[in-house]
Amino acid sequence: MLKSPHEFTGYDLVRSMGEGAPSAALLFEDAVLFAANAKKGKEIGSVVKDVYVIKDDWEARGLPLAMPGFKIVDYSEAVDLIMERFEQTITV
């Protein structure tokens, strides 16, 4: 996910794409703000099983982590998630 929580409106899309399969959100760029906002973090956490946050994008914003269940990952871990751990990816 790339969009900030204030711009994102695709919860139904994410939910429907993940039905019947392991699902996760990988937060890049402004989407890492989901991890700093407990309300918005819970919203995205309710439609996927796991949420991952790109470490460099998170650190660049210097915000406290409001969602301790979100996992901070580096770029090599993100590539592994995209290429090895999940069958399909969508960018929203």
Rounded Cα–Cα distance for residues 33 and 29 (Å):
8
User: 34 in a domain, yes or no?
Assistant: yes
CB of 8 closer than 8 Å to CB of 1: yes
**Count of domains for the chain:** 1
- How many other CB atoms are there within 10 angstroms of residue 74's CB atom? 10
pLDDT, mean of residues 14-26: 78
pLDDT, mean of residues 39-52: 92
Domain range holding 30?
A: 11-85
Residue 64, domain CATH: 3.40.1260
Indicate if the pLDDT at residue 64 is higher than 70.
yes
User: 26 in a domain, yes or no?
Assistant: yes
pLDDT at residue 51 in the model: 94
DSSP state letters, 22-45: --EEEE-GGGGGGGG-HHHHHHHH
pLDDT, mean of residues 24-43: 93
User: 61 in a domain, yes or no?
Assistant: yes
User: 3 in a domain, yes or no?
Assistant: no
Query: How does residue 40 score in pLDDT terms, banded at 50, 70 and 90?
Result: very high
